[in-house]
Chains A and B, each alone.
Chain A
Amino acid sequence: MGELTATHFLLLSAALFITGMMGVLTRRNVLVIFMSVELMVNAVNVSFVGFAWEQNSMIGQTFALFVIGIAAAEAVLGLGIVMALSRRADTVDVAEVTELRD
């Protein structure tokens, strides 16, 4: 504590990332999983911008911008898949969709 250093931001980023990861691993509702993934992406964004601030560089912010753009596209397609899945399997529970099972 004391001065604001990049360590603070990195720890925040780590915490958010882990939280999102546990959501992905634990929840069964595919939409909640999707939102957890968005949480992880945002945590990474924080990390990028934190480094950029510490190093007086613009590259981090540029990258974060691209990440947001790609995340948008991914959201569209991912949610389209969710809708198709729900139509097909009549459920949004990933535990029901076990066709990869031996």
Chain B
Amino acid sequence: MTPEVLVFDILAVIAIIAGIGVVVSRNPVHSAVALVVTFVNLAGIFVMLRAEFLAAVQIIVYTGAILVLVLFVIMLVDMDDLPEFHGGAPLQRLSAIVIGLILLGEVAAAVVTRTVVGQPGPWNEETIAAAGGNVQVLGQFLYSGYVLPIQAVAIVLLVGTIGALVMARPDEITTRTRGRTTGTISLGHSRGADLVALPSGAPTARVIHREDMRDGLVMVTSADAYTEQAAWAGTDVPSEPGAAEYPTGAGIGSEENR
């Protein structure tokens, strides 16, 4: 048991336990914190593997940027206590665990019985030290043979930035092109507003105009009226209740309604 093995064992065990914690935590913030622990431990392992630059990049980029982004999103998104821990889809979980264990066994078998082909490369400790350390060697390596992939990654990052900007635009722009043009409140559905007793003789569908909706609000009294053609025909009717007829005119999908 050399010291390296011991260090490795400690780092690895903590990383795995933190990884399991990511998957198992109820609170997503707990998952994020566990992921941070994993990343830091992995950075330590990278240092053991003589990849110091990579370790630094791992901490700066992954933990410092990506995980922070994730935490921001967790904050911005309104999430309830999801029912996933209240016993849903046991078959899915069970089969996932079984598949995972089988795959783990297979990969472990492959790893343990592997044979190495080909010749090892030239970059052992002495040559790296002779060339000036890990960063110098990596820099030389990258910029001599891998310039094109670097440019490609740069473009990908640029595209990502632009995409983020596009997706973050406010809602009015998107709804202007393809949003809903009418809002509906169905009084026939139990999930809607509280049931209102309408006077008899009231029409089963009415259109009420509001400024923020282009074609107004259609009120229906039953699920069937919700689907009738007449309920969707959109011409002006007065917004007073009891003001009689069915709306007539063009149906949904016609030029007027677009």
| Chains A and B in contact, CB within 8 Å | yes
Q: Which residue in B20, B99, B107, B121 is a CB contact (below 8 Å) of A56?
A: B121
For chain B, the count of residues having a C-beta within 8 Å of the partner chain is 83
Pair B23/A49 contact, Cβ less than 8 Å: no
Question: A residues near B, CB below 8 A?
Answer: 1-4, 7-12, 14-23, 25-29, 31-32, 34-36, 38-39, 42, 45-46, 49-50, 52-59, 61-62, 64-66, 68-77, 79-84, 86-87, 91-93, 95
Q: Whole-angstrom distance from the CB of A90 to the nearest CB of chain B?
A: 8
- B97, B100, B103, B171 — most chain A CB neighbours (10 Å): B100
B123 surroundings in chain A (CB, below 8 A)? 56-58
**What are 15 A-B pairs with beta-carbon distances under 8 A?**
A14-B108, A21-B103, A26-B96, A35-B35, A45-B42, A45-B54, A49-B51, A56-B124, A57-B123, A58-B137, A61-B138, A65-B53, A70-B153, A79-B73, A95-B88
CA distance A32 to B164 in the complex (A): 20
Determine if B28 and A31 form an interchain contact, defined as CB atoms under 8 angstroms apart: yes
What secondary structure prevails in chain B residues at the interface with A?
helix
Set B12, B74, B121, B161: member contacting A76, Cβ < 8 A? B161
Enumerate chain A residues within 8 angstroms of B39, measured Cβ to Cβ: 42
What residues on B are CB-neighbors of A72 within 8 Å?
A: 61, 65-66, 157, 160
Once the chains bind, are B12 and A75 in contact (CB under 8 Å)?
no
**B82 close to A36 (CB less than 8 A):** no
**Is B49's CB under 8 angstroms from A49's CB?**
yes
